[in-house]
Structures are given as C-alpha cells and as structure tokens.
Amino acid sequence: MIPVITIDGPSGAGKGTVARLVAQQLGWHLLDSGALYRLTALAGIDRGFDLNDEVAVASCARALAVAFRIVEDSVVIELDGRDVTTRVRSEEAGMGASAVAALPAVREALFDRQRQFCQAPGLVADGRDMGTTIFPNALVKIFLTASAEARAERRAKQLIQLGESVSLPRLLEDIKARDERDSARSASPLKPADDAILVDSTALSIEQVVACVLSELVAKQQ
C-alpha cells in the first residue's frame, strides 16, 4: 500500500510549510487540499457566481482546470491557464474557500481529485479532513495546532511578504471566525482523527515539527 502522511489542523498552524518540507525530504508527492478549495472559490468568483450557490460552485469544483507546476524550488499554480500563485494565498481566496468548503456537493466533487494524488513512493497531504475522510487508512496522522494569536502573527508575516496591508486584530478575528466555521460545519468538520497524533506548534520551530513528523513515520515503519 502507498504510504500516506496526513497533516490536518486549523489555518496558520504551519501545516503547509511542514507538509512541503516533509514531502521534499522523503521525495514524496504533496497534496495541498486547501489550495483546491481556494481555487474553487476563485473559479466561482471569476465566473460571477454567488459562493453560496451549491450547484454552481460544485460544477466549478468538478471542472476545475488547475495545474501545479514545480518551477525551480517553488510551486506555480495555474487556474484556467493563468498564474494564480499569489492570488490563491490572498484573503479573498481564503475566505471564499472557507465558504465553499462548507458545501457538501463541493466536498464531494473534490473527493476523487484529492485521492488521485496518492501515488508511489508516498504522499504527504495537508488540510482539514485528510486523516478523517480522504485518507482514513493513512500510515501517520498528525493534527497540528497553535494558539490563535500565534497563527494570526504568522499569517500577518506571510501577507506582508505578499505586499498586502495587515491589521493584526482583524486577522485574529478572521482566524477565529474561520476556525468556528470550519469546526461547526456538518460536512467534514475540522476535528482530529481518533488515531491522530496531536502536535501543538505554538512554541516549536518548523524544523522541530518536521522532525516530530519524520520520527512518527520511522516509528510506524518499524
């Protein structure tokens, strides 16, 4: 069976960076499932759809024309043939993703596409329901958290790097609202799988979290 490591948790816990580094070190494939929800939201916005229109947004999710291309050391993301690498990380895409991710038909539409990322020699998948719904048989399941304040500060740094203006209190509010929405929804709510290992990254460096994930893998492979 192809080995899978799932890294789930709230936004800003460091999942994306940790997943990328773990995948790089192992030479495994990477699934950034949040990007698929963000891209679905952007496709809906670009077509002028109301993001609460479940049928319309699910059709966008099914027909999503995306490409993840590795250029030098980073991933370039294209939607409908256009480079959306920066736009996909914007607050517009993040808030839109949180809305469309609550729609069961959208989650259903992205189900197979996510599973197709599971290819030899292995997969590192990050998101909210990787260990609970998409890859319930994963070899290693991590649930990565951090305090809302630490996550808001990390997010602020990322946005500043993207050249966006930032209000920390506003970001903290947004993070709390998104946590609430992601945890309270009935379709695949954000919660740790029963067999997930909980890791709180508030006081840990990225390197320490990566080391922790890799040691869990070694322990499972013995």
Q: Is 207 helix (H, G, I), strand (E, B) or coil?
A: helix
> Given the complex with ligand DC, which of 90 and 221 has the nearer CB atom?
90
- When asked if residue 127 is in the footprint of ligand DC (CB under 6 A), the reply is yes
Residue 178 CB, nearest approach to ligand DC (Å): 5
When CB distances to ligand DC are compared, the closest residue is 34
Considering only 18, 21, 28, 38, the residue that binds ligand DC (CB under 6 A) is 38
Residues 75-104 that bind ligand DC (CB under 6 A): 94, 97-98, 101
Identify the CA nearest to 134 among candidates 119, 120, 113.
113
For the residues of 119-171, what is the DSSP string, one character each? Answer: -TT-EEEEESSIIIII-TT-SEEEEEE--HHHHHHHHHHHHHHTT----HHHH
140-145 and 197-200 beta bridge pairing: parallel
Considering only 11, 132, 145, 201, the residue that binds ligand DC (CB under 6 A) is 11
> Given the complex with ligand DC, which of 11 and 59 has the nearer CB atom?
11
Contact residues: ligand DC, CB under 6 A: 11, 33-34, 37-38, 94, 97-98, 101, 127-129, 178, 182
